[in-house]
Amino acid sequence: MLFAGPPHQRERDDQIRVADLDSNASVASFTGTNRILVAGDFAWLATDGKLKCLDRSLNVQAQDRIRKIQNDLKKKTVTAEQAKPLLQAAEMQLQDAWLWAVESDVPFEIVKAGNAVIVGLNGSVRAYAAADGELLWQEKLAGTAHGLAITAGMLLVSTDLGHIHAFAAAQ
């Protein structure tokens, strides 16, 4: 898969586009976001004021089904009446591919560490459970968290004010 982002990282209302390199087919596009984190079959992105988790394999399957039905309609191998319930089922699968969503500003950075998805925001950094979106931890910061790095069991956060914060689990 090829993930193509907005031309400028700071734009808030751009689009992430996903294409299948084997078939050169467009697989999906996500508007209103400029960050995406992909790990295996899952992707996390912020759009519509929410941080969301997507099952990519379910999403791709649903997109493929929709394209096949649309091609069958063009070729007239199915009628519109026959295609309607098939398209509705594929649209439901497309919705079911979104596993969870939580209210969130658009992050300036996203990383994954173990079972957590960590987002850098304006004035804070937050960690959510990758599996269900439960808020695990948050900390207020002065400035905007632009750089997130995980090393030696610590989260390093750099801000636009030049501060570098280090966070580690309590011992």
pLDDT in tens, 32-63: 777 788 898 999 988 878 999 999 889 889 98
The per-residue pLDDT for 4 is: 67
The dihedral region occupied by 150, where left means phi > 0, alpha psi between -120 and 50, and beta the remainder, is: beta
Q: Could you tell me the residue range of the domain that residue 80 belongs to?
A: 2-102
CATH number, domain of 138, equals 2.40.10.480
End of a domain among 57, 80, 102?
102
Q: Mean pLDDT per segment of 10 residues, for the chain of length 171 residues?
A: 62 64 72 80 88 91 89 91 92 94 90 94 96 96 94 93 91 69
pTM for the whole thing? 0.80
Non-local CB neighbours of 15 within 8 Å, separated by 6+ positions: 6, 29, 30, 31, 32, 33
Verify that 6 and 37 share a domain, yes or no: yes
How many domains, the chain?
A: 2
The per-residue pLDDT for 113 is: 92
The per-residue pLDDT for 10 is: 55
The per-residue pLDDT for 90 is: 92
